[in-house]
Amino acid sequence: MKLIQGLSDFLETAYKKGYKMAIGSAAIMYNIDFVMEGLNIRHYFDSIVSADDVRISKPDPETYLQCASQLNMAPADCTVFEDSPKGVEAAKRAGMQYITLITRHHDGFSDWDTKQSEWKITNTDWKQDAVKLMADECHRQGIKLFVYYSYKIYLIGTA
């Protein structure tokens, strides 16, 4: 288990600048604990809201609204980093700003040719293009989509 490239520096910088940070996850606390301990990142977060803490999971905004409340922040002052359509919808419904991340799980996670691999996501048993699925979902929800593509990460901004 390892952090995606750049996340360690991002967390450290945000922490040193005094940004309040929370985890709002649809996972149960046992799984969150396993990941946070394994990656040694718990100390960066002021609050954790898990599936154990809410009545209704994402896309209901309860998870993110609890995070904001525990951080003593207005939802409109929060920015959510999210990697799922249901999470994006939850952030939107909570009245929060959000940035959607689609990471490349390894060098060839895309339908664009890379020097690293001929592998393409649509050649797997799943046979779906994750970026197209995200674009379709954003269109369905009336969300503007901006895609930045690089070797290691997709950064998809939504507005």
pLDDT score, position 110: 44
Residue numbers of the chain with a pLDDT score lower than 70: 102-131, 134, 144-159
Q: Look up the domain containing 68 and give its range.
A: 7-158
Tell me: the pLDDT tens digits for 55-73? 999 999 999 999 999 999 9
CATH number at residue 96: 3.40.50.1000
* Domain presence at residue 2: no
Tell me: the pLDDT tens digits for 35-51? 899 999 999 999 999 99
Distance between CA atoms of residues 123 and 79, nearest Å: 34
pLDDT score, position 30: 93
Alpha carbon separation from 117 to 37, 46, 151, 153 (Å, rounded): 32, 40, 12, 15
Work out how many domains the chain is built from and give that number.
1
pLDDT score, position 106: 37
